[in-house]
Amino acid sequence: MSWYWYFLVVMMGIAVSVAYRYTVLSFYRAYPKDPHFYQNKTYQRSYHHLFCSALFFLYILVYIIFAYLSIIPNIGIKHYIALPFAFFLTIIACVDCKLYLIPFWCLVGVLIIGGLYHLGQVLFIDTEVSLIDLMYIGFQEKIPFFIGIGVLYCLVLRNRIGLGDIYFLIILLILFSVEVWLYAVLLACLLGILFACILKIVKKSIGYIAFGPWIALSTWLMFLVVLDGKI
């Protein structure tokens, strides 16, 4: 990893802090009297913008360690998109912690970066298979899961999980294979439950817990360790 890559890491660490502050303020300015903010007491939840930069650097530190240990498949392709991917995941995690909302522009960013990864996979590795063929085959396998997510949300999860989390999971299902997606969801649930148990022990009363940060973390780990470029 060259010096300019680390320079980009520092610059994006600063940018993620600025983007976090702008996103939070834009929500407050667009919906100043929205009952969501008062019901969830988001004004009382203090998350400094430097925390967002620290989380981004932590994501990149994990990437560097895994790369040093040579446990990242297709690192050549992932190296080019790791920084913007970590950028969007960090914003999602921090804004959801603060506001219990997931910015739509970050979900679009995740979708674009994931699409570029698969495009690079087709162009530089699976040269005999077209991207359209991979998407068509993968989409056929995922149709029952898309339907299942919608039915489960309408019948069970409507008041237990945010619609932004559902959009996030749908985008990940588009990008990941079904197997990798299931691993990511399972890991996110386990991390969320572990965090809730810790809060229960420390604070006794936990209230709502943002699920987006744990989806983002599990997505990052799946991207680094498991995802091999197949849709």
Model confidence over 123-145: pLDDT tens digits? 665 555 555 555 555 677 777 77
| Cα–Cα distances in angstroms (integers) from residue 140 to residues 71, 116, 134, 174, 194, in the given order | 30, 21, 10, 11, 34
Tell me: pLDDT of 36 over 80: no
For the chain, give the percent of residues with pLDDT over 90: 19
CB neighbours of residue 25 within 10 Å: 10
Tell me: pLDDT of 191 over 80: yes
- Closest C-alpha among 82, 106, 80 to residue 23: 106
In this structure, what DSSP letter does residue 44 have? G
- State both tokens at 21: 């502050």
Residue spans of alpha helices (H) in the chain: 3-30, 35-39, 49-68, 75-99, 104-124, 131-152, 163-175, 178-203, 212-221
| Cα–Cα distances in angstroms (integers) from residue 41 to residues 9, 25, 100, 201, in the given order | 33, 15, 10, 22
Give 56's pLDDT tier (boundaries 50, 70, 90): very high
Check residue 122 and give its pLDDT: 63
Mean pLDDT over residues 50-57, rounded? 89
Check residue 231 and give its pLDDT: 38
Q: How far apart are CA 32 and CA 48, in angstroms?
A: 20
Mean pLDDT over residues 96-104, rounded? 86
CB neighbours of residue 55 within 10 Å: 25
